[in-house]
Amino acid sequence: MPRTTLAISVLILSVAAAASAQTPTAPGAAETTLRAWNEAYASVIQMAEDFPEEKYDYKPTPEVRSFAEQLLHVTGTPYFFISVCTGQKSGEGPFAREKYKTKAEVVAALKKAAEAGAAFIREQGDAGLAKPAKLPWESETRNALWVWNVGARHASEHYGQLVVYYRLNGLVPPASR
């Protein structure tokens, strides 16, 4: 092989190696799920901290949950999903308004729950989240990864409901400011 061809080949290989070293690897399933989880709960927590305490018991209609009850419902989700994935009942909850009377208590419980879910996802990693898990209302068994993605989506759905509570009170949600 002539020297110039060898030099060009070495140069091409060097550039390719440098490029691949700089290209970040895609996150794994657990990391992607953790990001979705944290983003969903951060949005709900931001609302919980922002919404006026005197409006925490606001209900758009008598048949639906109050703002605080929505938050407490979302608070129970991580513990429920941990139970689904481990087969062991959580010692946390119930998350009733009668027990969590102040905004500070609701926010603290929500933050603790969000971190419990995040810790479980981190501890499980890709291998743990690949284990079979079945939500009680579903007919088929899936895996823990599916369960935790449902959990992130669930928090996001309640975030959307809470946006309505803001708007009906003439308030602008934090993410829209």
Q: Is residue 106 part of a domain?
A: yes
Residue 17 falls inside a structural domain: no
- Report the C-alpha gap between 175 and 51 in whole angstroms: 12
| pLDDT reported for residue 170 | 97
The 10 Å Cβ neighbour count of residue 163 is 17
Cα distance between residue 37 and residue 49, in whole Å: 18
Q: Strands (DSSP E) along the chain, which ranges?
A: none
94 preceded by a cis bond (ω within 30 of 0): yes
Inside any domain, residue 5:
no
Q: Give the integer Cα–Cα distance in Å for 49 and 126.
A: 32
pLDDT at 5 over 60: no
CA angle 124, 125, 131 (to 5 degrees): 60
Number of residues assigned to the chain: 177
21 part of a folded domain: no
Within a domain: residue 7? Answer: no
Reference 128, options 164, 85, 65; nearest CA is: 85
Q: Is residue 9 part of a domain?
A: no
pLDDT 10s digits, 146-172: 999 999 999 999 999 999 999 999 999
Please give the pLDDT value at position 89: 86
Expressed as residue numbers, the domain containing 167 is: 30-57+64-172
Residues 54-105: pLDDT tens digits? 999 999 999 999 999 999 999 999 999 999 999 988 878 889 999 999 999 9
| Position 16 in a domain | no
In contact, 125 and 140? CB cutoff 8 Å = no
Rounded to the nearest angstrom, the gap between the alpha carbon of residue 119 and the centroid of all alpha carbons in its chain is: 11
pLDDT of residue 90: 80
The whole-angstrom separation of Cα 38 and Cα 113 is: 11
Question: Average pLDDT of 1-18?
Answer: 51
- Which CATH number belongs to the domain containing residue 74 in this structure? 1.20.120.450
Query: What is residue 152's predicted lDDT score, i.e. its pLDDT?
Result: 96
- Per the structure, the count of domains in the chain is 1
Query: Contact 144/128 with Cβ under 8 angstroms?
Result: yes
Average predicted confidence (pLDDT) for the chain:
90
Q: Is residue 20 part of a domain?
A: no
Contact residues for 108 (Cβ-Cβ < 8 A; gap 6+): none
